[in-house]
């Protein structure tokens, strides 16, 4: 059950990355967005052929760095300015 929860959450991360604006993606180019979205596509379209070792590699080697980057982006965001911009 935990394995499927992990796979589903990786899928959700990729889906969220698909919703980001091109401006955001280009201004945060240190994050490998294409790989994040590609992993989502792999999970969704190759569901019965998902390699457990690939999932484990992503979890242990990629997600910690991605988490640090996302946390930094959230902390660096001026949320008052963001709200004003998105209300217009």
The residue-averaged pLDDT of 43-60 equals: 90
**Residues 6 or more apart in contact with residue 50 via CB below 8 angstroms:** 7, 42, 43
Give the residue carrying structure tokens 């457990």. Answer: 52
From 28, 37, 40, 67, the catalytic residue: 40
**DSSP conformation letters of 68-79:** HHHHHHHHH--H
Specify the pLDDT at position 19: 95
pLDDT at 6 over 90: yes
Q: How far from the centroid of its chain's Cα atoms is residue 17's Cα? A: 5
Query: Active site residue: 28, 37, 45, 72, which one?
Result: 45
Residues in the chain: 88
How many angstroms from the chain centroid is the CA of residue 72? 14
* Catalytic-residue membership of 72: no
27, 38, 41, 39: which is closest to 69 by C-alpha? 27
**Full-model pTM:** 0.83
Task: For residue range 19-51, list pLDDT tens digits in order.
Answer: 999 999 999 999 999 999 999 999 999 878 888
Neighbours of 42 (CB within 10 A): 19
- Checking if the pLDDT of 88 tops 70, the result is no
Please give the mean pLDDT across all residues of the chain: 92
| Domain locations in the chain as residue ranges | 2-87
């Amino acid at each position: 059950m935990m394995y499927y929860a992990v796979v589903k959450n990786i899928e959700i991360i990729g889906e969220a990355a698909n919703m980001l604006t091109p401006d955001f993606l280009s201004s945060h180019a240190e994050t490998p967005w294409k790989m994040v979205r590609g992993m989502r596509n792999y999970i969704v379209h190759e569901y019965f052929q998902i390699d457990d070792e690939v999932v484990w590699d992503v979890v242990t080697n990629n997600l910690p760095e991605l988490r640090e980057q996302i946390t930094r982006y959230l902390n660096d965001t001026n949320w008052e300015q963001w709200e004003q911009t998105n209300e217009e």
